[in-house]
């Protein structure tokens, strides 16, 4: 890919879009089934979950709106969609299945949105965009898995809905490191700003809502 970045730059891709307050956090599909390498996990998903703990702590201290997603299909599979035809085991993620519960490290707090979804994007078929819009959010810090699947699909939609996507690179993971890298590249060129967690938290430190704890 030695020359690929050159053509992107020549054609005007990859401009930096600075984070802009107010901020929100979206944590995609960090459920047991995606933490488990024998189900849908593997690769760098486990360290991404650990890294997201610190992101969530700061987001709560800064009183940012936080949304979590879970993949949940109807118990009888009545809502099986084309996605489930491509990946049939996904139908096992039902309301009460252990595999579809959010991982213990990232349990939602009161006031945080917890969405059921059956599509890659956290926005498709949900009220997520409306929820962030109602809060005036301009930039979405995005964590979750997988980078090449639901994260990327959500990043594209976040941008389309008018939010600046800020992909927190060490808080997103994928079963395939190669797919992880290839999709970070695409997102950086066309859709999102990429930062490590610590850089992202520093870049968004200044503009806090009045009265937020330090």
Select 8 or 198, whichever has its Cβ closest to a second copy: 8
Residue 201, H or E segment: helix 197-203
Residues 36-95 that bind a second copy (CB under 8 A): 39-40, 42, 74, 76, 78-79, 81-83, 85-90
150 is catalytic: yes
Q: How far is the CB of 139 from a second copy (least distance, A)?
A: 10
- Candidates 94, 101, 119, 208: give the one binding a second copy (CB under 8 A): 119
103 near 56, Cβ under 8 Å? no
Find, among 203, 116, 209, 111, the residue nearest to 164 by Cα.
203
- Candidates 145, 156, 171, 201: give the one binding a second copy (CB under 8 A): 156
189 near 161, Cβ under 8 Å? no
Select 53 or 135, whichever has its Cβ closest to a second copy: 135
> SS3 of 190, please?
helix
- Candidates 57, 136, 196, 202: give the one binding a second copy (CB under 8 A): 136
68 near 114, Cβ under 8 Å? yes
Stretch that binds a second copy, among 46-54, 98-106, 154-162, 198-206 (CB under 8 A): 154-162
Residue 170, H or E segment: strand 164-173
**Residue 182: CB partners within 8 Å, gap ≥ 6?**
148
Q: How far is the CB of 94 from a second copy (least distance, A)?
A: 13
Catalytic residues: 150
């Amino acid at each position: 890919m030695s020359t690929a970045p050159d053509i992107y730059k020549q054609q005007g891709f990859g401009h930096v879009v600075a984070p802009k307050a107010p901020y929100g956090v979206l944590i995609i599909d960090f459920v047991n089934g995606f933490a488990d390498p024998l189900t849908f996990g593997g690769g760098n998903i486990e360290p991404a979950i650990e890294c997201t703990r610190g992101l969530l702590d700061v987001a709560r201290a800064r009183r940012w709106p936080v949304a979590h997603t879970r993949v949940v299909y109807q118990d009888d599979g009545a809502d099986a969609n084309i996605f489930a035809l491509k990946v049939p085991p996904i139908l096992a993620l039902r309301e009460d299945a252990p595999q579809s519960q959010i991982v213990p490290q990232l349990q939602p707090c009161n006031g945080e949105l917890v969405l059921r979804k059956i599509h890659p994007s956290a926005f498709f078929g949900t009220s997520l965009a409306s929820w962030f819009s109602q809060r005036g959010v301009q930039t979405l810090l995005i964590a979750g898995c997988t980078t090449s699947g639901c994260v990327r699909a959500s990043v594209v939609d976040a941008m389309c809905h008018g939010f600046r996507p800020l992909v927190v690179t060490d808080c997103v993971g994928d079963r395939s490191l190669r797919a992880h890298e290839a999709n970070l590249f695409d997102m950086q060129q066309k859709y999102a700003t990429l930062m490590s967690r610590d850089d992202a938290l520093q870049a968004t430190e200044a503009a806090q809502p009045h009265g937020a704890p330090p």
